Structure 1
Amino acid sequence: MNLFVFGLGYSVMTLVRRHRDRFTRVAGTVRTAGKAAALRAEGIAAHVFDGTSGGDEALLADLAAADALILSAPPGQAGDPALAAYGEAIAAAPRLIWIGYLSTIGVYGDRAGGRVDETAEPRPTNERLRRRVEAERAWLALGARTGKTVAIFRIAGIYGPGRNALVDLAAGTAHRIVKPGQVFNRIHVDDIAAVLAAALERAAPGAVYNLADDEPAPPQDVVAHAARLLGVAPPPEVPFEEADLSPMARSFWGANKRVSNQRIREELGVTLAYPTYREGLAALLAAGEGRTALPAEA
């Protein structure tokens, strides 16, 4: 299988590195020449794409040779960048039969702590999420028009190597913000890779899948658990109203829901390696996460 990716970032590169034997060729886009050079050293045909310009002949050749396409770049004000610049080439790609669009569970909006699954209608609460919903619909429409399988993957908060509460504690950047009743789902990046690998074979045309763990939990509990694992004192609790948050970060806290992952288990046959943050943090600790930046006595 030849894979093309718009946005060779953290999650998709985990898929590529964990399942490299699945792919004859991997190509895709990044935003800088330096990152493109680093990926080429790994055997990946990386192209620089600024999100606006099209017509790169080498990129078009790799698109035409692709059997599967993953889109992980977020939409901009002008819509989905890959669709805007290369939509016609994608629709006409002769070998392309499978397209996966990586979205966010944020499109469900606020459910006052209630459960939500893939049958729920999106309730985007800001322009950024409205653009996400529009991009989802545009890719599904392309699939319906061309007969290519298009699947949507709505992803919870991502953590994994280098991006977790252990690392934040070691760096002194962890915060324990408390908003009563607030919970978040999250998902380990290795589980994202496992879902995408399964979906390449089993995803139904037009399907939507939630990528989330089994236990939505208060964020302060995750930080406190990470501190216990490291044997350090957790940071003090900070009431949400007093927290120093950017407008984007504050918008995340405005949505409170419990996201079901039943469909990835029943339809894709995926068993999460890290069903809760406890298993995920324990594995990351065993791999050395969060230890190097701590004082020697810790």
Structure 2
Amino acid sequence: MVTSLFCFGFGYTAGEIARLQPDWRIRGTTRSLTASPNKKEGVPLLQFDGQAPIAGFLEIAQDVSHILISVPPGEDGDPVYRVMGELLCRLPNLKWVGYLSTTGVYGDLGGGAATEETPCNPSGIRGQRRLDAERAWTRLYQKQGLPVHIFRLPGIYGPGRNQLVSLKAGKAHRIVKEGHVFSRIHVHDLARILIASMEKPHPGTVYNVADEYAAPPQDVVTYAAELLGIDPPPYQDFDTAEMSAMARSFYSDSKTIVNKKIKEELGISFKYPTYKEGLKSLSGDA
């Protein structure tokens, strides 16, 4: 049986899955068909604005076996859960639902390690919204058997989205906050992890997703500059650096994400185990 994947929010990660699985039947959503084409990378798109159910969804999605949810929650919570959650429970062939959350649900651990069992204590509103969404989807698994899987993601990088691109655009900064580290994942490895889970469902589980090395952000910029053969931007102290409130919020949490579970349960080995392998592979495209 051909895998039929429906993606709420056909974005960066879903596009990589589509690239890796050209034989799958993949469809997705976009906020507005007037603002974007009805196909992206050859994948048909339906409109979903988070306010009303997709018209005729139960008929359209009769064959859907897997659902990926990457639409972020807002002030009113998770729009996919709020508008479509009950409908998803009625799909006859559904085997897997993946919700893309964030490692921000753990809050600040002062550089310490976070496993899937680490208590959640988000330090910002975005992390709290993600945690609320996780709990809402988990309730649908517990009460109605929806085959939900939670993936807690760090920063995602890859083609077109990396510090090589930022440096060439003059937008990279080396901001130093003592002891600050965070994890990341190459979009290719993220897609492979999600595909591995789709092929080996374990409803109700939570997975941390990260590569093998949590690093200070300024080190990533320094290495990217070396690959480009240019001088890196000067170091800036976090306390005095000029940043937007959004940019500053990314420095509020410092932690190392433990990825043991995805390796043991899903058999994952990384193509890009650290940012160095990942950036080196991208340096010819920057």
| TM-score normalized with structure 1 length | 0.91
Q: Name the SS for the 1:267 alignment partner.
A: helix
Distance (Å, rounded) in 1 between the aligned partners of 2:267 and 2:118: 22
The letter of the residue matching 1:76 is: G
Instruction: Tell whether the 8 Å contact from 2:48 to 2:54 is kept in structure 1 after alignment.
Output: no
Q: Name the SS for the 2:266 alignment partner.
A: coil
Structure 1 partner of 2:7: 5
Structure 1 segments (4+ residues) deviating >6 Å? none
List alignment gaps of at least 5 residues for structure 2: none
The percentage of counterpart residues that share the same residue type is 47
Distance (Å, rounded) in 2 between the aligned partners of 1:205 and 1:121: 20
The letter of the residue matching 1:273 is: K
List alignment gaps of at least 5 residues for structure 1: 291-298
Match of 1:82 among 80, 83, 94: 80
Structure 1 partner of 2:61: 63
Instruction: Tell whether the 8 Å contact from 1:27 to 1:62 is kept in structure 2 after alignment.
Output: no
Is 1:184 aligned with 2:182? yes
Instruction: Tell whether the 8 Å contact from 1:4 to 1:62 is kept in structure 2 after alignment.
Output: no
Per-residue CA deviation, residues 8-61 of structure 1 (Å, 9 max, x unaligned), is 01011111111222x2x211211232434242x71x22111112122522x443
Instruction: Tell whether the 8 Å contact from 2:149 to 2:202 is kept in structure 1 after alignment.
Output: yes
Per-residue CA deviation, residues 151-176 of structure 1 (Å, 9 max, x unaligned), is 10001101000000111111111111
Distance (Å, rounded) in 1 between the aligned partners of 2:235 and 2:80: 42
Distance (Å, rounded) in 1 between the aligned partners of 2:260 and 2:21: 24
- The structure carrying a bigger helix percent of its residues is 1
Structure 2 partner of 1:37: 38
Structure 2 partner of 1:54: 53
Structure 2 partner of 1:212: 210
Structure 2 partner of 1:289: 285
My pick for the range that moved more, 144-153 or 263-272, is 144-153
| TM-score normalized with structure 2 length | 0.95
Distance (Å, rounded) in 2 between the aligned partners of 1:113 and 1:201: 33
My pick for the range that moved more, 137-146 or 179-188, is 137-146
Distance (Å, rounded) in 2 between the aligned partners of 1:123 and 1:265: 25
Aligned length: 283
Per-residue CA deviation, residues 245-288 of structure 1 (Å, 9 max, x unaligned), is 22222122110111111111000001011010000001001xx2
Instruction: Tell whether the 8 Å contact from 2:66 to 2:96 is kept in structure 1 after alignment.
Output: yes
The Cα RMSD (Å) is 1.4
Structure 2 partner of 1:172: 170
